Amino acid sequence: MSLGNLLSGPPSIVAAGVDVFSEALRAQGAEVSDVDWRPPGFGDPADLAALALDARRAAANRTAVERLLAAGSVLVDVRPAREVIGLEDRTLLHSGPPLTWETASGPMRGALVGACLFEGWADDVEEAEILLASGAITLDPCHHHRTVGPMAGVTSPSMWMWCLEDPVGGGRAYCNLNEGLGKVLRMGAFNEEVQARLRWMRDVLGPILSKAVRGSIDAGNDPIDVKGILAQMLQMGDEGHNRNRAGSLMALRELSPSIVAVDAASSGHSADDIAAVLRFIGGNEHFFLNLGMPTAKLATDAARDVPGSSMVTVLSRNGTEFGIQTAGTGDRWFTAPANTPVGLFLGDYGPDDANPDIGDSAIMEAYGVGGFAMAAAPAIVRFVGGTVPDALATTERMYQLTLTENPAMAIPIMGFRGSPTGIDVLKVARTGWLPQINTGMAGRIAGTGQVGAGLVQPPQECFEQALAALAEAARTA
């Protein structure tokens, strides 16, 4: 039919959606063909309605958002885990929701074995495995101790921790020190190379960083503004999760004067030790990640325990399960089997070598950076796969899942628009879209180490469970 004849005959009407439109047209004598189309969301309609109509939700989400945006993050100390979080002997923290030795994946088992060897609880791998299988070692999630850990996230009593504080709300959050890339404990490797590095971090890196950080503050200097560094990173090509080049260099810039000022003689360390610390930080492009993660943890923790809020406060994985928590449901975990990332591989590794998703580092996405801020770091696609338009489109899509924009985390290419922040369970369910996460990939066999990096999403089931729990809370409020 030509455009000229378009209106020469009766109109053909196709209607999708609410019946009232079709009924109104038929009342006027029109013929209507109905299409049973629904938005690609998920969840029980009754649960969606209960949460959407919860009279508390708007105010509760506003409160949660305000707390999250207001939270700051400054570096106040570096101390061993046994001191700052009271981590007891024969206790190990791990990433993600709770697990057991029996349910632990390959890289998680490798990291747990490596930590036992590092602490001297076992003399060899076989003895460590027997010890862990017997239940003699207590395993507990990092998140249960205001702590986060990348990948396996295994933290033992002797490991040194970054200690960050929220100057607004007074909260504290912690994270161990980053080992670098390749064969590292957090990726499930535990050989002598890994052990030697961990011992050096315990005996040299941690103590020198501690003296540098505390010495600077004792001298009257302001603590390092870690949130400020994170904000600057997004304007320098980082997204704060899988790309931390600018952030790590800025951290080195802030720490270097205090590190150099450490008195080698009185500290029990040599000038060579101090030089080695500077070289290690300068050569570790992910050094800042372990500062960024507790910064995000401080913000999302500030938004906890707001009845009626549907905002996500935790995204986390242990290599077996993915778990989320929300502001309206406190410490309750909603879990499902973790997906396996898709991306680019190192060397001869391929998809069959990758373990399912693992790590607390998705706290960065819960805060609104990382995969949510891919538009700020288009070069990230060279590391995780995809294209530059994919990176831009991902950030645009994440705005549809979130409650606000974080003005402190501005994205230059988007006109300095604030990053999409505050994942809303209701919006995720209504759109059917899932949060995007940038992540590293650990080898599925214990001891392998890193095999690549890529993109992954949480399992839908986590959000279905959270939706049901929030809806039930709304009904009984």
pLDDT in tens, the chain (477 residues): 455 565 566 667 777 666 666 777 777 777 878 776 556 789 999 999 999 999 999 999 999 999 999 999 999 999 999 999 999 999 999 999 999 999 999 999 999 999 999 999 999 999 999 999 999 999 999 999 999 999 999 999 999 999 999 999 999 999 999 999 889 999 999 999 999 999 999 999 999 999 999 999 999 999 999 999 999 999 999 999 999 999 999 999 999 999 999 987 677 889 999 999 999 999 999 999 999 999 999 999 999 999 999 999 999 999 999 999 999 999 999 999 999 999 999 999 999 999 999 999 999 999 999 999 999 998 888 878 888 999 999 999 999 999 999 999 999 999 999 999 999 999 999 999 999 999 999 999 999 999 999 999 999 999 999 999 999 999 998
Q: Is there a single domain that holds both residue 161 and residue 253?
A: yes
Q: Taking the alpha carbons of 70, 370, 228, 232 in that order, is the dihedral positive or negative? A: negative
Domain ranges, residue 404: 45-68+303-476
Q: Is there a single domain that holds both residue 240 and residue 342?
A: no
Q: Is there a single domain that holds both residue 220 and residue 142?
A: yes
Taking Cα atoms as reference points, which of 318, 334, 300 lies closest to residue 442?
318
Q: Is there a single domain that holds both residue 58 and residue 74?
A: no
CA angle 208–287–95, rounded 5-degree value: 105
Q: How many CB atoms lie within 10 A of CB 312?
A: 29
Instruction: Give the Cα separation of 78 and 256 in Å (integer).
Output: 15
Burial annotation 370-381 (CB, 10 A radius, 16+ → b, else e): bbbbbbbbbebb
pLDDT tens-place string over residues 346-401: 999 999 999 999 999 999 999 999 999 999 998 888 878 888 999 999 999 999 99
Q: Is there a single domain that holds both residue 440 and residue 307?
A: yes
Q: Is there a single domain that holds both residue 136 and residue 240?
A: yes
Instruction: Give the Cα separation of 250 and 252 in Å (integer).
Output: 5
CB 71 within 8 Å of CB 299: yes
- Beta bridge partners, 324, equal 315, 334
As a whole number of angstroms, the longest Cα–Cα distance in the chain is: 96
pLDDT tens-place string over residues 82-132: 999 999 999 999 999 999 999 999 999 999 999 999 999 999 999 999 999
pTM over 0.85: yes
What pLDDT is stored for residue 382 in this prediction? 81
Does 355 map to a domain? yes
- Please count the structural domains in the chain: 3
Q: Is there a single domain that holds both residue 318 and residue 204?
A: no
Any idea what the CATH number is for the domain that residue 375 is in? 3.90.1700.10
Q: Is there a single domain that holds both residue 61 and residue 23?
A: no
Q: Is there a single domain that holds both residue 211 and residue 343?
A: no
